[in-house]
Amino acid sequence: MYIQALFLFLPVMAAQALDIHIPVRTRRTSNDSKPLNPQDFLARYGYMSQKHRSAEDMVEAIKLMQSFYHIPITGVLDNKTLEMMSKPRCGCPDIQPPTTRLPLMPDNPAAYTLGPAWKTKHLTWTIYRYYYNTRKITERDQKDAMDRAFKEWAKYAPLFFTYVDKDADLTIGFHQGDHNDGSDFDGRGTNLAHAYDPPDGRIHFDSEEDWVLSSNDGTELFTVAAHEIGHALGLGHSTVEYSLMGPVYTGFDEEFELHADDIRGIQLLYGRRQTSRTTASLPINPTNKPVEACDTNFDATVRGHDEYLYAFHGKKVYKIGDTGLMREDSIDRVFPGAPYNIDAAFRHPRTRQVVLLKGARMWLFNWFTLDPSYPNI
């Protein structure tokens, strides 16, 4: 699977003009389906033009792709870059013309772009073509998985989804290869599914994938469906690690819940769903166990970007709201890149950036994303 890194220097590439051929050994996708073509990958997912592929364009496209995936920006097709290109993923482009920018922080770029929203919040959906292997996943199970995926988004935004037999706003189908929409599937491989912005509403899955439910023995249908529904509701791909709307498939998670980044995106498009007590914005633990000061000795507490209180203890972080404990998780899942056993935490009064301290080092977070220039002393 792994190949020797091939470094492509600009002087060598500059001799080529358009439709360049990159002399790298072919690399197969993670499911060993078809050889990876880096040029096609970069063009398909929005990093470079489909037609104009000069040497300089190729280098800049590689750098842009590396920046999007938070891997070292080298401008060459090294092993880390090729490995990322080979992972199973959504077939929608990573880079799209922005319609609205997601303002994670007032003076920071968006984690992803927002597309157009539906004009109505009461949407219908249907499955017009089911996954063929109904012995493995029945039509009823497929429908239930889609229903659960729609409900995940409806938890946090005032959206209402109703299944109908035909003439639906959102249409779901399983296809293979060329299915007449200009976005071919690749067989069992990297391109799992794709969807179209409102008001199109089409959601397509590759029928040649090994679809499963609640398992990592294949490609987990609910997880991919929730991601594609995000696209069909107007969300683009996110650069935030652990977010559902990240382009790379990360597998089945028994404790699945939308990331704060996903929630903020859907609420910017459609607003917040009102509850009897407050406004839903992050997952709530149904036990609502109260957290008292005497329950534990926290290492530090800080008010997050989302205005909830985050209390740190060892490797854990506790999210606390008006009703008590809302979520318990490992620090590195909520604040990726943060250390364990921190000494202190505070929030900048103007920018709302969260800063974690341990020893003489400092970690600065913009909406749960570590600033690339940190940790710092």
Place of tokens 């609910």: 222
Any domain includes 276: no
pLDDT of residue 206: 97
Q: Are 296 and 313 in contact (CB under 8 A)?
A: yes
**Are residues 349 and 216 part of one domain?**
no
pLDDT of residue 347: 82
**Are residues 114 and 70 part of one domain?**
no
Place of tokens 């080529």: 16
pLDDT of residue 360: 82
The per-residue pLDDT for range 221-244, each reduced to its tens digit, is 999 999 999 999 999 998 887 899
State CA 182 to chain mean position distance: 23
Which residues constitute the domain of residue 172? 100-270
The per-residue pLDDT for range 27-72, each reduced to its tens digit, is 444 444 567 899 999 999 999 887 767 888 899 999 999 988 989 9
Provide, rounded to the nearest whole percent, the portion of the chain with pLDDT above 70. 79
Residues labelled catalytic: 228
Rounded Cα distance between 189 and 209, Å, is 7
Which candidate, 7, 308, 59, 282, places its Cα nearest to that of 157? 282
**Are residues 130 and 218 part of one domain?**
yes
Any domain includes 291: no
Q: 322 falls in which pLDDT band (50, 70, 90)?
A: low
Is residue 164 helix, strand or coil?
coil
Domain-ending residue, one of 29, 55, 85: 85
Indicate if the pLDDT at residue 173 is higher than 50. yes
Give the total number of structural domains in the chain.
3
**Are residues 217 and 115 part of one domain?**
yes
**Are residues 39 and 68 part of one domain?**
yes
| Backbone φ, ψ for residue 245 (5° rounding) | -85, 10
**Are residues 124 and 81 part of one domain?**
no
Mean of the per-residue pLDDT values of the chain: 81
The per-residue pLDDT for range 295-313, each reduced to its tens digit, is 457 888 888 877 788 999 9
**Are residues 71 and 26 part of one domain?**
yes
